[in-house]
């Protein structure tokens, strides 16, 4: 019975894809972390949060390691394609944005940076220590002037530059018209929560989650003031179930405290989006509940044709989660049977399922409307 329901749900998702194929957004602007990064960190020399080497990208056209934290495409790529775009928007740092916005083919820009978060500190020190191995002297990172990631605040400044370039090119009303119809896709906060948890912070959980909501509100208001009106927000998945976090649970189960933070963050985001949409009557949004989507897969892997939802496809050691995916790592043979590509990130197959669900899924997974309805709104 459950299986039939899922099949029906997927068919409905596909039907929605075809029905609304003409409802396209003119441009897509993507912000956030490694779940949406398409190569931003490749432009940060010396960054410890780069992944532009094999076996990453093994299923990308020509097996290219593009800097995506995946064996192939990520959810941001796949959503852009579902929304009728021929290609995923390129990284801001790869462009001369003043000339990029003049092109007739201009369809958006990707600002997302792996390892980044809402807080400026995220990804620069603690998380880097945690994610990319502890160096002999931990102060190495603190002393280093290297930039590891582009925090969300700086991604906003970069968008401000693009906004000004657009005004120069198409004038204020042309820019307002374009941006009000464009999609603003944001996937962030997981790394802030990792940093909070692993730093052993004494800030109470409620206070920390609410500080993330305050930071998010500030950035959303920045985008609203620059003309954004359609938001696709991805909240935090069950990050306690990442292979890397299962290592902290002696049973190999999920790290429940991290999952609780993820659920609390989703509640905060629901309230924030509702508040902002009351204030801005022409604002529309979809809030993707990746917690619900992913936990559903972890609890019923066979329904979604996954065989392995705990260990990583590429890595080393216990659960293949003791190192990142690199040329000497163990690589699984059937990548499409794995939920996780590496110790933190989903496989292309998992990302495709997520993108399809965000695009055409029901309210349990994306609300108050899905991305197809958001595009058409
Ligand atoms: C570890 O996983 C088990 C399930 O296998 C769960 O019941 C337990 O709460 C988890 N422990 C922690 C510390 O999260």
Are 204 and 155 in contact, with CB atoms under 8 Å apart? no
Asked if pLDDT for residue 273 goes beyond 70, the answer is yes
Q: What is the pLDDT of residue 21?
A: 52
Q: What is the pLDDT of residue 132?
A: 46
Are 92 and 100 in contact, with CB atoms under 8 Å apart? no
Q: Residue 170's closest CA among 96, 220, 106, 231?
A: 106
Q: Which atom of ligand 1 is nearest to the CA of 256?
A: 14
Q: What is the pLDDT of residue 13?
A: 52
SS3 186: strand
The answer to whether residue 24 sits within a structural domain is: no
Quick one: how far is CA 230 from the chain centroid?
Answer: 17
The answer to whether residue 237 sits within a structural domain is: yes
User: Judging by beta carbons within 10 Å of its beta carbon (0-12, 13-18, 19+), is residue 127 exposed, middle or buried?
Assistant: buried
Task: Tell me, in angstroms, the distance from the centre of ligand 1 to residue 348's CA.
Answer: 28
Give the total number of structural domains in the chain: 1
Asked if pLDDT for residue 130 goes beyond 60, the answer is no
Phi and psi torsions of 349, nearest 5°: -60, -45
Q: Which residue has the higher pLDDT, 41 or 145?
A: 41
Q: What is the pLDDT of residue 10?
A: 52
Task: Tell me, in angstroms, the distance from the centre of ligand 1 to residue 133's CA.
Answer: 24
Instruction: Find the mean pLDDT for residues 246-273.
Output: 98
Q: What is the pLDDT of residue 138?
A: 44
Name the band, by pLDDT with cuts 50, 70 and 90, for residue 3: low
Phi and psi torsions of 31, nearest 5°: -130, 155
**Ligand 1 mutation pick, 198, 239, 245, 249, max ligand atoms within 8 A of CB:** 249
| Strand boundaries in the chain, DSSP class E | 28-32, 108-110, 183-187, 230-234, 284-288, 308-312, 314-315, 330-331, 338-340, 366-368
The answer to whether residue 271 sits within a structural domain is: yes
**249 Cβ below 6 A of ligand 1:** yes
**260 Cβ below 6 A of ligand 1:** no
Task: Tell me, in angstroms, the distance from the centre of ligand 1 to residue 298's CA.
Answer: 15
Q: Which residue has the higher pLDDT, 125 or 95?
A: 95
Q: Which atom of ligand 1 is nearest to the CA of 257?
A: 14
Task: Tell me, in angstroms, the distance from the centre of ligand 1 to residue 252's CA.
Answer: 8
Domain that holds residue 205: 2-16+29-376
User: Could you say which DSSP state residue 346 is in?
Assistant: B
Token duo for residue 93: 């740092």
SS3 277: helix
Instruction: Find the mean pLDDT for residues 210-217.
Output: 98
Sequence-separated (6 or more) residues with CB below 8 Å from residue 268:
209, 210, 212, 213
**277 Cβ below 6 A of ligand 1:** no
What are 85-107's pLDDT values in tens digits? 999 999 999 999 999 999 999 99
We report the CATH number of the domain holding residue 337 as 3.40.50.1110
Q: What is the pLDDT of residue 217?
A: 98
The answer to whether residue 199 sits within a structural domain is: yes
Q: What is the dihedral of CA 267, 273, 279, 283, to 10 degrees?
A: -160
Q: Rounded to whole angstroms, how far apart are CA atoms 231 and 180?
A: 10
What are the residues facing 38 on neighbouring strands?
A: none
Residue nearest to atom 1 of ligand 1 (CA): 253
**46 Cβ below 6 A of ligand 1:** no
What are 4-54's pLDDT values in tens digits? 555 545 544 554 554 445 568 999 999 999 999 999 999 999 898 999 999
The answer to whether residue 262 sits within a structural domain is: yes
Task: Tell me, in angstroms, the distance from the centre of ligand 1 to residue 337's CA.
Answer: 24
Degrees, nearest 5: CA angle 22-26-31: 120
Task: Tell me, in angstroms, the distance from the centre of ligand 1 to residue 287's CA.
Answer: 28
**251 Cβ below 6 A of ligand 1:** yes
The answer to whether residue 68 sits within a structural domain is: yes
Token duo for residue 291: 């917690």
Instruction: Find the mean pLDDT for residues 286-295.
Output: 98
Q: Residue 239's closest CA among 72, 53, 33?
A: 33
SS3 231: strand
Name the band, by pLDDT with cuts 50, 70 and 90, for residue 2: low
Q: Which atom of ligand 1 is nearest to the CA of 255?
A: 14
DSSP letters, 76-128, are: HHHHHHHTT-SSPPPBGGGS-HHHHTTSTT--EEE---TT--SSTTTTTSHHH
Instruction: Find the mean pLDDT for residues 148-166.
Output: 97
The percentage of the chain sitting over the pLDDT mark of 70, rounded to a whole number, equals: 88
Lowest-confidence region among 8-17, 236-245, 338-347: 8-17
Asked if pLDDT for residue 345 goes beyond 70, the answer is yes
Task: Give me the active site residues, please.
Answer: 34
Q: What is the pLDDT of residue 24?
A: 86
What are the residues facing 28 on neighbouring strands?
A: 108, 183
Sequence-separated (6 or more) residues with CB below 8 Å from residue 230:
25, 180, 181, 182, 183, 184, 283, 284, 285, 374, 375, 377
The answer to whether residue 21 sits within a structural domain is: no
The answer to whether residue 23 sits within a structural domain is: no
Instruction: Find the mean pLDDT for residues 192-203.
Output: 93
Q: Checking DSSP bridges between strand 308-312 and strand 183-187, what pairing results, if any?
A: unpaired
Q: Rounded to whole angstroms, how far apart are CA atoms 356 and 260?
A: 25
Residue nearest to atom 3 of ligand 1 (CA): 253
Name the band, by pLDDT with cuts 50, 70 and 90, for residue 124: confident
**Ligand 1 mutation pick, 240, 251, 298, max ligand atoms within 8 A of CB:** 251
Q: Which atom of ligand 1 is nearest to the CA of 254?
A: 2
């Amino acid at each position: 019975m459950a299986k039939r329901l899922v099949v029906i749900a997927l068919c409905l998702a596909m039907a929605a894809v075809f029905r609304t194929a003409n409802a396209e957004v003119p441009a897509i602007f993507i912000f956030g972390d490694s779940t949406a990064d398409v190569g931003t960190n490749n432009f940060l020399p010396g960054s410890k949060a780069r992944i532009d080497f094999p076996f990453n990208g093994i299923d990308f056209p020509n097996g290219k390691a593009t800097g995506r934290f995946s064996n192939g495409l990520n959810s941001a790529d796949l959503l852009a394609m579902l929304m009728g775009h021929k290609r995923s928007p390129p990284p801001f740092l790869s462009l001369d944005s003043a000339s990029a916005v003049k092109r007739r083919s201009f369809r958006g820009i990707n600002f997302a940076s792996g390892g980044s978060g809402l807080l400026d500190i995220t990804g620069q020190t603690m998380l880097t220590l945690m994610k990319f191995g502890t160096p002999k002297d931990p102060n190495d990172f603190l002393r280093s002037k290297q930039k590891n990631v582009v925090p969300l605040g700086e991604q906003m400044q970069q968008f401000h530059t693009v906004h000004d370039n657009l005004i120069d090119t198409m004038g204020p009303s042309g820019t307002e018209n374009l941006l009000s119809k464009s999609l603003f896709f944001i996937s962030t906060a997981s790394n802030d929560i990792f940093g909070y948890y692993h730093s052993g912070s004494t800030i109470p959980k409620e206070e920390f989650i609410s500080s993330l909501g305050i930071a998010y509100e500030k950035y959303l208001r920045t985008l609203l003031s620059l003309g954004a009106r359609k938001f696709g927000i991805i909240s935090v998945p069950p990050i306690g179930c990442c292979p890397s976090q299962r290592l902290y649970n002696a049973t190999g189960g999920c790290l429940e405290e991290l999952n609780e933070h993820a659920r609390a963050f989703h509640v905060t985001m629901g309230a924030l989006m509702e508040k902002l949409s009351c204030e801005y009557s022409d604002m529309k949004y979809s809030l993707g509940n990746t917690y619900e989507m992913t936990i559903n897969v972890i609890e019923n892997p066979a329904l979604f044709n996954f065989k392995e939802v705990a260990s990583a496809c590429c890595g080393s050691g216990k659960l293949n989660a003791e190192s990142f995916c690199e040329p000497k790592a163990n690589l699984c043979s059937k990548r499409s049977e794995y939920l996780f590509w590496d110790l933190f990130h989903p496989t292309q197959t998992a990302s495709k399922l997520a993108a399809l669900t965000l695009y055409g899924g029901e309210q349990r997974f994306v609300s108050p409307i899905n991305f197809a309805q958001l595009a058409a709104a």
